[in-house]
Amino acid sequence: MDERRVRMRDEAVAWAVRVDDPGFADWDGFTAWLEADARHAEAYDHAVLAAEAADAGLIVPASTPVIRPAPALRQPLPRRRALGWLGGAVAASLVAVAGVQVFQDRAQPYAVETAAGETRVIALADGSRVALNGGTRLTLDRADAREVTLERGEALFTVAHDDRDPFTVHAGNAEIVDLGTVFNVVREGGETRVGVAEGLVAYNPDAENVRLEPGETLVDAQGVIRLGRAATGDIGGWKAGRLVYEGAPLTQVAGDLARATGTRVAVAPAIAARQFTGVIALPEKRAGFVAELGPLLDVEVQPGEQGVTLSPRNRVAP
């Protein structure tokens, strides 16, 4: 780049920075600079657009969801081993997209993702609906709407029931099979949590076969299953902006807040096992919300570079 172009670029950057300030008022000066050279406008547009490039990665509440079509498989998806296969799907999608039209009846997996802080509802071909909380990745199959995999995050399933073809959610190594239902599933940090709002769900019908009725919850922490209860209205409450807890570990609260707000939330080891009981009402505008929760959670919310950390409160000695 020659010296004159560098200078023009630097001037354009300086104006972009100034104009982007909400308090900017020197429009006359800006107009004069634009008029000084016909190329200034484009240099400025360049600088403005380039500055947007990182926005979606800094904090992500408003980014658009990513739908990633994967290539058709020669073999149908193995039912229990869906996760292992999906790892290769991304790499495979680089190789070939052709063939999708040919194998209509084969598995046609695709993924729907939400960024943290973003929610989304998708309708499936069978009339079922899935509401995705933030930070969630769900893989589905165009050829079989009755089989989905929750890779991570949280989703509320409202399922069109069919006795002959039950709706199945894979999460971790488990299968969650609906028997007519509204239910919520969270997959996070090696743990799967299920709550049933309506109907009946079978958890791992081929193994433990735990039947969950409305108001019942289940936590599967790497094979150790615990059952609990919750008000049916609170299951999937995130969808209405309400997070309701009764003796939930702080790490779980942190994960829920991160999905809902887009702010990364870590928990200091000293209080990771601490439990929280209470209701968190999520506001419309969620950026910066976690910072206000210190008193409610009885923690210090410490801002860091990537997000916030919940730490023990510094109590002043009496």
Where along the sequence are the contacts to other proteins (CB under 8 A)?
1, 9-10, 12-14, 16-25, 27, 31, 34-35, 41-42, 45-51, 53-59, 66-71, 90, 93-94, 97-98, 101, 287-288, 305
Between 35 and 213, whose beta carbon lies closer to other proteins? 35
Least separation in angstroms between residue 52's CB and other proteins is 8
DSSP assignments along the chain, one per residue = --HHHHHHHHHHHHHHHHHHSTT---HHHHHHHHHH-TTHHHHHHHHHHHHHTTHHHHS-TTPPPEEEE-PPPSSPPPSTTHHHHHHHHHHHHHH--TTTTT-TTS--EEEEE--TT--EEEE-TTS-EEEE-SS-EEEEETT-TTEEEEEEEEEEEE----TTS--EEEETTEEEEEEEEEEEEEEETTEEEEEEEEEEEEESTTTT-EEE-TTEEEEEETTEEEEEE--GGGTTGGGGTEEEEEEEEHHHHHHHHHHHHS-EEEE-GGGTT-EEEEEEEPPS--TT-GGGGHHHHTSEEEE-SSEEEEE---PPP-
- Please list the residues that pair with 120 across neighbouring strands: 132
Between 24 and 231, whose beta carbon lies closer to other proteins? 24
Between 68 and 129, whose beta carbon lies closer to other proteins? 68
Least separation in angstroms between residue 25's CB and other proteins is 5
Between 9 and 161, whose beta carbon lies closer to other proteins? 9
Between 64 and 275, whose beta carbon lies closer to other proteins? 64
Least separation in angstroms between residue 236's CB and other proteins is 28
Between 15 and 203, whose beta carbon lies closer to other proteins? 15
Between 107 and 218, whose beta carbon lies closer to other proteins? 107
Least separation in angstroms between residue 70's CB and other proteins is 7
Least separation in angstroms between residue 222's CB and other proteins is 30
Least separation in angstroms between residue 247's CB and other proteins is 34
Least separation in angstroms between residue 296's CB and other proteins is 22
Handedness of CA 194, 200, 201, 206 (dihedral sign): positive
